Structure 1
Amino acid sequence: MTESVRQDVKRWLENVVIGLNLCPFAARPHRMRLVDIVVSTATDEEQLLTELHHEIARLIATPVDELETTLIAVPNMLLCFQQYNDFLDIADALLEQGGWQGEIQIASFHPDYQFVDSEPDDTSNLTNCSPVPIFHLIREQSLTDALMNYADPDKIPSRNIAKLERLTLDELKDYFPYLYK
């Protein structure tokens, strides 16, 4: 199961995130093999926190030219978006307790992702829709560097929503097969 989850996340990263250019900063580290996909085996919050702590520490300890970012896929728990969203507060507290705020941030992705003040079927939610719950560990400096070389980063969300709204139902099924089972 671990390898199939890793392949699903890799396919999502390559086809959706990079293929649709939802994150204009993802292609370079992926192309340079600086992205790690870790599949969590956690089945409870304590185990997941331990794994998250380990991966944050590993990311910080590894030179950026060897590892820039980590995607932690969580296939065995937090399948309900509200539980996942609640756990994000715990993950952010871990960053604070570890003294990693300002160094690492966590981006969130989930099969049932829903932005505040959106409806469950709003197209905007697809920008953060992934095959399994994912915690994306991002180095703050990498993000800062990428944003400095990108014109109008504030327009990325609206551009992404417009791009997704132009997709046909068949295209949506191809990009997000886990939503159309």
Structure 2
Amino acid sequence: MSDSAARHDAIIAATRNWLERAVIGLNLCPFAKGVHVKGQIRYVVSTAQNDNDLLDDLERELKFLVDAAPEDVDTTLLITPDVLADFGDFTNFLDLVEVVLRTQGLGGVLQVASFHPDYVFADAEADDIANHTNRAPYPTLHLIREASLARATAAFPDAADIYERNIETLRQLGHEGWRALDVDAPAKP
């Protein structure tokens, strides 16, 4: 196995670990377990080194998801380990993501959720444990089918309460509990 393939496998393994232990394990997203268990999550590691290359990867993955049968691939995690390490750059890039969705005519078809190792909500302090609801080992764009999300929220009567419940879960867990989950990116050698 090449060093590049081994690195990609390690990045996917760290992302999967985060998904299983934090997102599913803490029930931060009650919709994640079903697609995970069914193997309907596509994990893609972008090799992009700049925003333009990442936009190309994003457009390719959006097209792939639209063309794929939902029972095969329901959602995609586009992981970007080599670009957008700065959270400010990441949030600026999200504006471009919205432009791509509009220009591709995908509004109402797909949406993109965002996760970053240094995620901070606009109204939060950087060390607020609530930020961890959107913290992943690597900058990650979660491509979601609107139809799947609509079905999931219809089946979950208190979907609007997820955000508040997640904050409460993390406040009870605390920073020490989050560290114990061991869901951050592995240290670089």
| Structure 2 CA distance for partners of 1:119 and 1:170, relative to 1, 3 Å | closer
> SS of the counterpart of 1:135?
strand
Residue 24 (1) aligns with residue 30 (2): yes
Residue 81 (1) aligns with residue 81 (2): no
| Structure 2 CA distance for partners of 1:49 and 1:4, relative to 1, 3 Å | same
Residue range with higher mean Cα deviation, 46-55 or 162-171: 162-171
Q: Is the 8 A contact 1:12 1:131 kept in 2?
A: yes
Structure 2 matches for 1:53-132, cutoff 5 A? 53-132=59-138
Residue range with higher mean Cα deviation, 128-137 or 158-167: 158-167
Tell me the CA shift for residue 167 of structure 1.
1.4
| Structure 2 CA distance for partners of 1:149 and 1:80, relative to 1, 3 Å | same
Residue 167 (1) aligns with residue 173 (2): yes
Instruction: For 2:139 and 2:39, locate their aligned partners in 1 and report how far apart those are by CA, in whole Å.
Output: 22
Instruction: For 2:185 and 2:54, locate their aligned partners in 1 and report how far apart those are by CA, in whole Å.
Output: 25
Q: Which runs of 5+ in 1 are unaligned?
A: none
Tell me the CA shift for residue 174 of structure 1.
2.1
Instruction: For 1:176 and 1:83, locate their aligned partners in 2 and report how far apart those are by CA, in whole Å.
Output: 26
- Residue in 2 that maps onto 1:3: 9
Structure 2 matches for 1:45-56, cutoff 5 A? 45-56=51-62
- Residue in 1 that maps onto 2:3: none
- Residue in 2 that maps onto 1:138: 144
- Residue in 2 that maps onto 1:149: 155
> SS of the counterpart of 1:107?
strand
CA-based RMSD of the aligned residues comes to: 1.5
Q: Which runs of 5+ in 2 are unaligned?
A: 1-6
> SS of the counterpart of 2:77?
strand
Given the two structures, how large is their TM-score scaled by the length of structure 2? 0.92
> SS of the counterpart of 2:150?
helix
Instruction: For 1:180 and 1:173, locate their aligned partners in 2 and report how far apart those are by CA, in whole Å.
Output: 13
Q: Which has the higher contact order (CA 8 A, sep 6+)?
A: 2
Q: Deviation above 3 Å: which 4+ runs of structure 1? A: none
Given the two structures, how large is their TM-score scaled by the length of structure 1? 0.96
Q: Is the 8 A contact 1:173 1:180 kept in 2?
A: no
Tell me the CA shift for residue 92 of structure 1.
0.9
Instruction: For 2:164 and 2:156, locate their aligned partners in 1 and report how far apart those are by CA, in whole Å.
Output: 15
Instruction: Give deviations 1:1-24, integer Å, cap 9, x for gaps.
Output: 111111100100111101110000
Instruction: For 2:184 and 2:48, locate their aligned partners in 1 and report how far apart those are by CA, in whole Å.
Output: 21
- Residue identity over aligned pairs, in percent, reads 38
- Equivalent residue letter for 2:86: C
